[in-house]
Structure 1
Amino acid sequence: MKVMPLTSRGISTSRLVLGCMPFGGGWNNDPITETDRLSAEKAVDAALSIGISMFDHANIYTRGKAEETFGGILRNRPQLREQMVIQSKCGIRLADGSVPGHFDFSKEHILESVDGILGRLGIEYLDILLLHRPDPLVEPEEVAEALGQLKSSGKVRYFGVSNMSVAQMRFLQRSIPDQFAVNQLEMSLGHLDFLNQSILVNQESGANVNFSEGLMEHCQMENIQIQSWGPLAQGRFSGRSVEDEPENVQKTAALVQQMAQEKGTTPEAIVLGWLMKHPAMIQPVIGTINAERIIACKDAERQSQLMTREEWYCLYISARGQAMP
């Protein structure tokens, strides 16, 4: 039996995660509207209705309004908190006047970020905190001090990273006693380097693959949950117009539609099921506020179990636009 890494750590979670990046309106300083609040609440209810118990945030999403909007839902319905695993991220600073957007893993920024996250969400602790993108100026010992303080104060239970290579994880981990629980990466039928890296060993075409060598294997061996952001590939294979897309995208979208019809399910369930069939037990983070689209993902885990090796490879090869090497 396959065991989900987060579950094995004592975190009761779902196979799917709702990404809350669209909550709160636009990436601006406009106030949160009643429409924004109602849309977010419908999205949360839709997620809960199909068994999603994990919700993904970042302190920068819609400039903090995403967490604030979610916090409003929790204040009105406090009983929901204990039904949820709440994850957020820090480490990205948005552009501010003459200061460009940049990354910041300083102790001060991490601690300030978590206080801000907890304040906007209106909660006492985060289940998981992710370091959002690699900071070239990182000092692992400084990060360790910040994470240790957050753990001892009860503000964060588990830690992880996002968009990091094996080397970057190991570099940080040497100073941090708590093993990372998560690495969140872009992966989907439209973003295949996580697979291409493994099949193009000793192949000339592998030189163009941009994915950390051995990352999938490292996370599996170290019991680190791999999460996928962008798992639906912005809808390219599940309903969005692909008229102007490359031939491989058009053919794959048609194949997904055909499989969904034959199996009596939705294109979203096929696209996510394909990703979830991977032995790493990838956990997709669905980044939509559309309640109907969230519900369309309900059948994904079942489809991952039903999908044959041949069907999985048909989708992979079609999306690659090339035969296996």
Structure 2
Amino acid sequence: MKVMPIQKREISDSRIVFGCMGLGGDWNYDPYTHEQVTIAEKAIEAALETGITMFDHADIYKMGKAEAVFGEVMKTKPGLREQIVLQSKCGIRFTDGVLPQRYDFSKSHILSSVDGILQRLGTDYLDVLLLHRPDPLMEPDEIAEAFQQLKASGKVRHFGVSNMTAAQMRYLQKSIEQPLVVNQLELHLSRLDWLDQGILVNRAEGSSLNFDDGILQHCLMEDIQLQAWGPLSQGRFTGKSLEGASEPVKATTALIAKMAQERETTPEAILLGWLMKHPAKIQPVIGTSSAERVKACKDAVRQAELMSREDWYALYTSARGVRVP
């Protein structure tokens, strides 16, 4: 599967993104091991065999080790860099025991973060850089300066955000010359406020929802690719123990298993197919380091195409636990 030029919403022809947060071992500063590099290599190979050519990182994942082991794998595979789209995120700073955990969209931090990302990955450029979480102290003009310098130097080709509202994106875009091409949000079958927000208009039960009204429509109208983190619901419907689970979770797990058996596919493909059926052409970011689980997602695109409106609503209603109004 060849990589397409990023233009507007279509950042690649990879309908699924491989999320690399699971690579690199534990969340500490211990050195990564040869075994962890091997795990990363197997996961990357499984992703490529599945047709996935886009890989998502963040400078904080496993304290930088996720990017570092990915870089080790790329060293052993000449030509791989030109076959894939690399995306990473910056802006979250962990506590060091003195300073608090915080967000930092200052020009100096963005620039230094990108230099660290490129060094760990062993590449000269990122295809996409995302601002990881909204910084209340962000200055759009300062971010614009950082983006312009990164673009001019060739270190970053395209820019986007993660976990941002439509208003926050508009606020940034007023200063940033480059179009924001991605917004990465938590979207999946066990968190449904992104859908409920749209159907509970003028209803009392909709007043407690916390999902930004209009964000999906804004991204669609502005050709901003929606990416979904957590799309497999942390295994809740695809093999995780159901001990103590709610009745809707148990019922939905059974329904997904039934659909998978009838269609001769995997529960993972059904779950992702449901998400990808949405008209926003959502790109799931699967965050597993298991090569086998990556391969289980291979049929997701076909399942999205085959899924009927009735199938989609059956899963949505089952996960909600109550019918739509």
Q: If the length of structure 2 is used for normalisation, what is the TM-score?
A: 0.97
CA displacement, residues 267-302 of structure 1 (integer Å, 9 cap, x when unaligned): 000000000000000000000000000000000000
Aligned AA (2:17): V
1:302 equivalent in alignment to 2:310: no
Alpha-carbon separation, structure 1, partners of 2:170 and 2:9: 20
1:281 paired to 2:300: no
- Distance in 2, matches of 1:49 and 1:139, equals 42
Task: Give yes or no for contact 2:227–2:285 (8 Å, CA) kept in 1.
Answer: yes
Alignment partners' CA distance in 2, 1:77 and 1:127: 19
Amino acid at match of 2:21: M
Alignment of 1:15-30 (within 5 A): 15-30=15-30
1:1-325 map, 5 Å = 6=6, 8=8, 11-325=11-325
In 2: Cα distance, 1:309 partner to 1:75 partner? 45
Seen in structure 2, the aligned counterparts of structure 1 residues 109 and 197 have a Cα distance that, compared at 3 Å, is same
Shift of 1:78: 2.6
Instruction: Judge conservation of contact 2:8–2:224 (CA < 8 Å) in 1.
Output: no
Give yes or no for contact 2:27–2:63 (8 Å, CA) kept in 1. yes
Q: 1:170 and 1:234, CA in 2 relative to 1: closer, same or farther beyond 3 A? A: same
Give the CA deviation at 1:8.
5.0
TM-superposed CA distance for 1:6, in Å, is: 5.0
Q: Percent identity?
A: 63
How large is the Cα RMSD of the aligned pairs?
Answer: 1.3
Note the residue ranges of structure 1 that are not aligned, 5 or more in a row: none
Deviations 1:85-108 (A, max 9, x none): 000000000111221211000000
1:119 aligned counterpart, secondary structure: helix
- 3-state DSSP class of the match of 2:96? coil
Letter in 2 for 1:148: Q
State the secondary structure of the residue aligned to 2:97.
coil
- Provide the secondary structure at the position in 2 that maps to 1:78: coil
**TM-score, reference length from structure 1:** 0.97
Count of equivalent residues:
322
Once residues 137 and 195 of structure 2 are traced to their aligned partners in structure 1, the CA distance between those partners, rounded to angstroms, is 30
> Are the counterparts in 2 of residues 5 and 224 from structure 1 also a CA contact under 8 Å?
no
Amino acid at match of 2:216: M
Unmatched 5+ stretches in structure 2: none
| AA in 1 matched with 2:90 | C
SS at match of 1:175: coil
Secondary structure of the 1:77 match is coil
